[in-house]
Structure 1
């Protein structure tokens, strides 16, 4: 496989975009057969180094036939243009912040409950030379803990695939062991802070990694996974994702899985999950439930957002609703730059509904968005995000999302401006999630 960067006359605002030719006859997107499916999405990822073939490295000529998953001759794999979105307005934007706000961030147990660095598709390459720089920026801004997301059900969710994604993170951590600490308990978080290390734990967006065996929860928990989503957009063995119009409830297997989460100290997360399944899961759980990266439906009417009923149920359980920073999910105008005003509306709405003790920060930031933004514009991407083209329009803008370190202090300034106390800000930044972790993580 070979990489070439060539200029493209497409523009995003005033920024010229580049298109990456992966050498697989992918210049110019041509739609596949009408039955665009998750299989096509996975096949495309595998062919460019981001799906089931996590050993098929972008730019390498060493891939073997065994690296490429079996294909169905009746299914046409989509051709894909990978556009460079590194210079979109959101990535270049500067959020001003006061020294007071910066000090609050650094004095708090500040954490991001979803740093979406899926490997290898959301890094510049499988080696991700930018990894340590990204982590250092988070730490310099005042973050103490990141929930790192190596994998998701929409990509390669086989045991091997998830393990390879985790190995990427473990290898990066081992490169600079003086900089990072894997945290499984709040005592670990306390130790990481004392040792001036960035605390990292892992999450998977979905439940396929358990392979139908609820006791696998214990294995992944020991490997450093702190929570896992119940579903990722679509229906699975646990229940319905947020895009399922049937809005079905928690299955018998789902109930067993919730019990296993409680037993092994895994936090139940209902982000990307349907309303009925979420409510059933909250009722089933004997422990607090979270939504690691969602918004308020009353503010942004989108499938990913939480209804008042779910927000109240999470709060009643003692849990936390962390808001994400993805512009199109939080502001239905699909902005080029996410504003602190737009994000504050979600914080304030939830705080007024259930109290600031149940609101948190979960950026959903992608370090390298090129592949994700490009794929989401294809029919195969629409099979994963069936929202009538809304996500495709978001992808065409490069999925504008501020980095956590880019916006966190400015968001605190907005909260202070609107009358929230420094203590309130500390709860939002991570104090609330720390409380949940202290109760559940064993």
Structure 2
């Protein structure tokens, strides 16, 4: 049947419409192609990395700040905006939920800490109070925080858009030289212990014994009891943290540990020769041990100055130095926010982590894979290795039951507040 004029008009209109649709599609495709080929800015790259990989900081003292300023009262504390509060040291808090989210923090080792003055008195009680306040803080905002005790739990928390919250005891005085307390802390969720703070325990030396003018009592590193502590931590799967300890203590640990160790908040001694930092020969041992040094932002450890705050560039110098010796697998981040008053310029609080990553990417010698390892991949690897070794050790090792000797406690004058009823009675008169 021949097409009528009406049919030809209809067909022509359909063809015209299809041509328009095709043209629009081609235009959209060209524009999309152009957009796809446009390189992402460094800031966009960082946002993309942090959106898909957890940034895990090794050390934050928010719990200590809450204890020192608010006596652990958090029921009415606005955890979204801590800058509104006047604090005792006049320095605004570095941490709150708003800035944690802005900094795209995916996981945090919360420091469980109280001062050395508690040792031999109420150290265990005070550390338990700090665990309690952090557990209550997590429970207060379950939409923000999620407790994590394993590498897989960290990943799960991150995938559900929570901040994975881990605990690290800062100072071996917390366990009062008791394996029982060490194990109970592990059951409460503690996953690393810094062997000392800025005081010796009866079984381990801290970094200040390495000062040239030191007159401190020395254990000469780890005592035999201290070596047993390391073995029990390996058996449990609790990370051994060597920040704060003396050089000899570090060497003793490397000689006996079966698991990778961490430095939760230390930097490079060659860049700043502070005893809290890690010397190059120790970095070589970290490499062999497959451990990790989590670089801190403390100005005194970054630029060796009480007045100069340092900059992002100075922090990066420590990261790069450690990377050059240990390798990319052995470096991480351990800022020490809220444990310090001054911070480097550009790294003022927890919201600034992305700025450091932007700086490293801008240098041209850091790949995306490198950054992923630095911000969290490395510490997750160390955690997994500790978990794996602990499972193997528990097949053959029994829980440690030895007591520290009374003599070791007496050297540090730590028997006054102990009943000592666990120790056998010393018989002085066999006929009585």
Normalised to the residue count of structure 2, the TM-score between the two structures is 0.69
Match of 1:303 in 2: 275
Structure 1 residue 141 displacement after superposition: 2.2
| Equivalences for residues 4-403 of structure 1 within 5 A | 98-119=43-64, 124-126=69-71, 127-128=73-74, 129-133=77-81, 134-154=96-116, 156=118, 158-245=123-210, 248-366=220-338, 398-400=341-343, 402-403=347-348
Structure 1 residue 259 displacement after superposition: 0.6
* Residues 1:130 and 1:97: Cα distance change in structure 2 (over 3 Å): farther
More helix as a share of residues: 2
* 3-state SS of paired residue (2:201): coil
Give ranges in structure 1 of 5+ residues lacking alignment.
Answer: 1-95, 370-397
Does the CA-based 8 Å contact 1:116-1:366 persist in structure 2? yes
* Residues 1:247 and 1:210: Cα distance change in structure 2 (over 3 Å): closer
Does the CA-based 8 Å contact 1:336-1:400 persist in structure 2? no
Q: Deviation digits for residues 49-82 of structure 1, max 9, x if unmatched?
A: xxxxxxxxxxxxxxxxxxxxxxxxxxxxxxxxxx
* Residues 1:105 and 1:196: Cα distance change in structure 2 (over 3 Å): closer
* Residues 1:335 and 1:400: Cα distance change in structure 2 (over 3 Å): farther
Counterpart Cα distance in 2 of 1:121 and 1:193:
25
- The count of corresponding residues between Structure 1 and Structure 2 is 318
* Residues 1:337 and 1:222: Cα distance change in structure 2 (over 3 Å): same
Q: Deviation digits for residues 246-272 of structure 1, max 9, x if unmatched?
A: 682211111010011011110000000
Superposition RMSD in Å: 2.2
* 3-state SS of paired residue (1:165): helix
Between 352-361 and 136-145, the greater mean CA deviation after superposition: 136-145
Does the CA-based 8 Å contact 2:241-2:261 persist in structure 1? yes
Counterpart Cα distance in 2 of 1:149 and 1:242:
19
Counterpart Cα distance in 1 of 2:97 and 2:189:
18
Runs of 4+ in 1 over 6 A off after TM superposition: none
Does the CA-based 8 Å contact 1:106-1:143 persist in structure 2? no
Give ranges in structure 2 of 5+ residues lacking alignment.
Answer: 1-40, 82-95, 211-217, 391-432
Match of 1:381 in 2: none
* 3-state SS of paired residue (2:207): coil
Match of 2:378 in 1: 432
Q: Deviation digits for residues 387-408 of structure 1, max 9, x if unmatched?
A: xxxxxxxxxxx43353553331
* 3-state SS of paired residue (1:119): helix
Counterpart Cα distance in 2 of 1:354 and 1:272:
20
Structure 1 residue 132 displacement after superposition: 4.3
Structure 1 residue 330 displacement after superposition: 0.5
More strand as a share of residues: 1
* 3-state SS of paired residue (2:134): helix
* Residues 1:135 and 1:338: Cα distance change in structure 2 (over 3 Å): farther
